Chain A
Amino acid sequence: MHWCSWTTRSTSRSRRPEAEIAAVPAPTAQGAPLPQRRSQAERRRSRRRATLKKYGTVFLFMLPWIIGFVCFTAYPMIASLYYSFTRFDLINNPQWVGLQNYRDLFTTDPFFRQAIRNTLFIVVLGVPLNVLFGVGVAMMLTKARSGASFYRTVFYLPTLAPAVAVALTFMVLFNPGTGPVNQLLGALHIGQPLWFYDPNWSKPALLILGLWTAGNTMIIFLAALLNVPRQLYEAIEIEGAGPLRTFIHVTIPMISPVIFFAVVTGVIDALQYFTQAYVIGNAVSQQTDQLGEPQGSLLFYALWMYQKALPGFAMGYAAAMAWLLFLVTMIATLILFKTSSRWVFYQGSGR
């Protein structure tokens, strides 16, 4: 552990300014003053020294995060804001263009609009679907006395599967010609969509994929449901309420903080939707320079931004997209927080 010895050594050096060392009275012929007889000034000084020492320690403990925050968060944020007002191709220096990038986004870029439409599809349909599914499965799990841990494992495990592997597995499942899903639909004589190969069906197929990996949401809902006090259920049962009224008047208010949490994180994740769409789009088009296939139906915001930034080397333009995304994320989060007081019930408050 060589860095720890370095840590302690540099604390002892940094916490002792010269002036302070000089201020400590030199031992006299009578010997060092006894601690009980220390004057008030001395006590104050030693307290100050202790405080300095403490802040030195805190600084050293916090140092990894401070460096990381400055280098990998604060500077890049400011730099990308600056880039967003420039034309920048990584080779030449950034050229100031003012609001040009932002104007171009809204006026001359049809793919930008398409990317927003596609992303909104996931936000508006995917997030509520995941939350409803999570609550539904979690409710069923609370009622199951036996086998609950088996079910929980089965529903949770897919969330751990690597996204690339999941995307490819669903390509096999939803293969229009040979996939088991269409085999089943064919046997039932329902239509056989082309799924990932049809621009109208590619996003619904992604929603199904999203449900398969919704286990995380389900787990936190399960924990929340198990935390609802039993008396509340007993009380409303005595009042003669049916399951629907119980659900509306007890369950939903009691788990509303978790619903809130799931919606906020779901929206943030949906706005950044990337990997599955990238992998599936590549596999569908059999090439890597065209993102969001088929026909741009899987071109999500983060994909278009990536395409602009790296293969396209339009760093300034992509930075403008990044900041727009950041602002939208903040506004969405703020709106959710502001409205939350109307529908989120926190136990222990407002009773």
Chain B
Amino acid sequence: MSATTVKPPPAVERPKRVAPAHVRRKKLLATMVNHTLLITLACIFLAPVLVLVLTAVMSDQQALTPKLWPSPFHWHNFVSAFDQVDLLLYLKNTFIYAFLSTVGTVLSCVPVAYALSRIQWKGRQVTFILVLATIMLPYQVTFIPLYVIFSHLGWVGSFKPLIVPSFFGDAYSIFLLRQFFLTIPQEMTDAARVDGANEFQIMMRVIVPMAKPAIAAVALFNFLYCWDDFFGPLLYVAQNPHNWTLAFALSQFQGQHHVNYNLLMAVSGIFMLPVIVLFFVAQRAFIEGVNLTGIKG
């Protein structure tokens, strides 16, 4: 099943041919089938979001019935969600966690990625492989000793165990930034070096301005990761309801507070909204990030 079965294209130029009518009809049919399938699939993919929104604006009574179309529309649910649970606090906590952790990741990963891509030194390749290896490491292997350390420090219940480690490099972000830094031509930094700039100045004045899209992508991915993160808050802030993040709080509503499905969906919607907005605002950064992960053979 290797590509050796494929013969190289013939050297002779093919004359431009017009497909006969029955072939064209077949092609049109194939396109229509393809689009029908895609539209059906798109509808299926949008259905959960639609159900979420519809459920979110149902009355308490209707949320317990199979009737899907809300009558009447309770748009007020989005407001009463803020009264029934401490949504503002959870939003604030989630934002603090995501924002500070993102700042830490960017500050710590840019110099590391710079040293791994723009400075030549012995052992660089080995170090880079070590960085890559830590991406593959399951978090389960490290979380128990980390929990032990953080509980000895008295940090459990606070955001510190979630935020402080991000100031000491994140392997995946280092990898993405390094990939981008490597694509910046050497001449750009040579000029600065001739002018007597040191490595730090080159990084801040040449590389960082040129790498803005990659840094934006890393920041975005990291922010979204923290925004969604469930396991970290479960480990470290579950004990302290004052520090609950939205992801954790949302998981507790059903179990302990018996919050109705309509409010649950309203909160879920509020939880998802910033993510969707970020996606549309920063689509370019997303594409940049996805391109960076693209593996080259």
Chain A interface (Cβ < 8 Å from any Cβ of B): 4, 7-8, 54-55, 57-58, 60-62, 64-65, 67-69, 71-73, 75-77, 79-80, 83, 90, 137, 140-141, 143-145, 147, 150-151, 154-155, 157-158, 160-166, 168-173, 175, 177-180, 183, 212, 219-220, 223, 231-232, 234-236, 238-239, 248-250, 252-254, 257-258, 261, 268, 271-272, 274-275, 278-279, 282-283, 285-288, 302, 305-306, 309-310, 315, 318-319, 321-323, 325-326, 329, 333, 343, 345-351
Contacts and interface: CB of A to CB of B under 8 A. Distances in A.
Contacts of B6: 232, 235-236, 249-250, 253
A320 B35 CA distance: 51
Contact of A249 (B1, B200, B271): B1
A98 to B, nearest CB: 19
Contacts of B279: 157, 160
29 contacts: A54-B119, A54-B121, A60-B111, A64-B169, A65-B112, A69-B130, A76-B142, A76-B145, A90-B151, A144-B38, A157-B279, A160-B276, A162-B272, A163-B228, A165-B250, A165-B271, A168-B254, A169-B268, A173-B47, A180-B47, A180-B68, A212-B45, A235-B7, A253-B2, A261-B295, A271-B138, A272-B140, A275-B230, A275-B231
Contacts of A147: 35, 38
Contacts of B247: 162-164
B200 A272 contact: no
B37 interface: yes
Given A158-B48, A178-B66, A254-B3, A4 B38 contact: no
B112 A77 contact: no
B77 to A, nearest CB: 14
B293 interface: yes
B216 interface: no
B201 to A, nearest CB: 9
A147 B41 CA distance: 13
Nearest to B279: A160
Interface of B: 1-3, 5-10, 30-31, 34-35, 37-38, 41-42, 45-49, 51-52, 55, 64-66, 68, 107-109, 111-112, 114-116, 119, 121, 127, 130-131, 134, 136-149, 151, 165, 167-169, 174, 198-200, 203-204, 224, 227-228, 230-231, 234-235, 246-248, 250-252, 254-256, 258, 261, 264-265, 268, 271-272, 275-276, 279, 290-291, 293-295, 297
A332 B265 CA distance: 38
Of A62, A236, A350, A351, the most chain B CB neighbours within 10 A belong to: A62
B112 to A, nearest CB: 4
Contact of A168 (B114, B268, B294): B268
A69 B134 contact: yes
Contacts of A157: 276, 279
- Sort A-B residue pairs by CB-CB distance and give the 6 closest, nearest first: A68-B168, A79-B145, A64-B108, A61-B115, A65-B169, A76-B142
A90 B145 CA distance: 10
